[in-house]
Chains A and B, each alone.
Chain A
Amino acid sequence: MTRSLTVLVVDDEELVGKRLTHVLSRMGCQVEAFDEPRTALSRIQEKEFHLVITDVIMGEVDGIQVLEKVRARWPQSKVIMITAYAMMSMARKAMDLGAYDFIAKPFVPEEIRTVVTRAARDLGFDLTETGQQSE
């Protein structure tokens, strides 16, 4: 039996969510994208996602809060942080709190594909860009 890698994307820039959804869908992932971090937190509360990709700096709820929420609620889920304001201290803090990876914007689709493929493999999935996947 095969199942899809479920991914929640949260970024207050709607365009980033759309682009990530496009790239991840082509990899065969089931993606839910949110540009409202509070709505994303509610969704995380009710459903376990294999992977969460979150922006770091987003208005009233930041990516660190998303990371902490996911780590507390679903410890097996992996969290990838993305930010346009990457700094060494921020990356170290995110990794210390249990992030899977930390990516600086702007990034090319290949960079996301590589990290997601690695995370999927660690979760027991085998992803390809064409959308075939096996567990």
Chain B
Amino acid sequence: MISTRSFTPAQGIASGVAERLGLSLINDSLYQAAAERFGVPDRQLRRAFEKGPSLVGMQSARRRRLASCVEAELSSRFARGAAVYEGPFAALRLRGVAHILKVRVTAGLAERIGAAQRQGVARNAAARRVRSSDGAARQIAWAIFGREDMDSDYDLVVNLADASEAEAIDSIVETAMCPAYRSTSFSRRCLHDLELANTAAARLACELGVDVEAELHEGVLRVRAEASERRREHIQKKVESIATELTDIRRVEVRVVDCWLRPLPNTRREDAP
């Protein structure tokens, strides 16, 4: 999975890596596939990941619901076979799957400002644009994933200030071929569990309009939904119904948290640092 920081001139890296590894490339097509699968407009899905929060913009809860559709589709695509994904926040997505290599491609601030200038703005305005873009990405990461998208969470950070595009591709391919990133029974099971949990979360988000976190471990699907207490029974039934349609789920545990009464365990504020 490759994430490129905004205004980083790295157009051909992900496709170059995919070509060298003989894998398919997943990029913007992911939004369309998720949109078709869950019946939501792909423009909205894209906005959830790309458009920063604003006073009249998308609310965090809606952003998370839309993101859950994209996450479900992303995990399904990886569960079907190896691929190269190019998109934002790679380190925060499909977490815990040992064979998935997370790469961030970045460049020095001067190069990034230069890239912004090439869009036809003066240097100061270009610098503001880069800062603003970084700030928006930080806020989106907090809104969707409850944490910042940091270099330290990536397996490999390639800085184009130190490497050409061809060298970056070499470095990524070489790392991806390391034995540490071979799939194992454990990592495939993690991906399988993640796919089912993400699918359940996306369906609940779309069909009930509730903010949901789901995880599957050893056949137990644990769902935490934010909703009013009077919806508890309905949500429980819905989770059970979805679980019967998914394989390998032995039991479900549903926890409904009344969002008006209790704070979220994960601080997920649009204005978080």
The interface stretch among A5-13, A100-108, A127-135 is A100-108
Whether the pair A96, B178 counts as a contact (CB closer than 8 A) is yes
Q: Is B46 an interface residue (CB 8 A)?
A: no
Q: Is B12 an interface residue (CB 8 A)?
A: no
Instruction: Give the size range of B's interface with the partner.
Output: 10 to 19
Whether the pair A91, B179 counts as a contact (CB closer than 8 A) is no
Q: Is A111 an interface residue (CB 8 A)?
A: yes
A-B residue pair count with CB separations less than 8 angstroms: 43
Whether the pair A102, B185 counts as a contact (CB closer than 8 A) is yes
User: A: which residues have CB within 8 A of B?
Assistant: 86, 88, 91-93, 95-96, 98-99, 101-104, 106-107, 111, 114-115
CA distance A105 to B98 in the complex (A): 16
CA distance A75 to B186 in the complex (A): 23
CA distance A86 to B193 in the complex (A): 14
With A102-B186, A103-B186, A115-B185: A88-B98 Cβ-Cβ less than 8 Å: yes
With A93-B180, A95-B180: A86-B186 Cβ-Cβ less than 8 Å: yes
Convert B135-167 into 0s and 1s, putting 1 for each residue whose CB lies closer than 8 angstroms to a CB of A.
000000000000000000000000000000000
Q: Which 8 A-B residue pairs are closest in the complex by CB-CB distance?
A: A102-B184, A92-B180, A96-B180, A91-B98, A88-B98, A104-B186, A103-B185, A95-B179
Closest to A112 in B: B185
Q: A88-B187, A92-B181, A96-B178 are in contact. List 10 more A-B contacts (CB 8 A).
A: A86-B186, A88-B96, A88-B190, A95-B179, A95-B184, A101-B184, A102-B98, A102-B186, A103-B185, A107-B185
B182 proximity list for chain A (CB < 8 A): 95
Whether the pair A92, B98 counts as a contact (CB closer than 8 A) is yes
Distance (Å) between the CB of B91 and the closest chain A CB?
Answer: 13
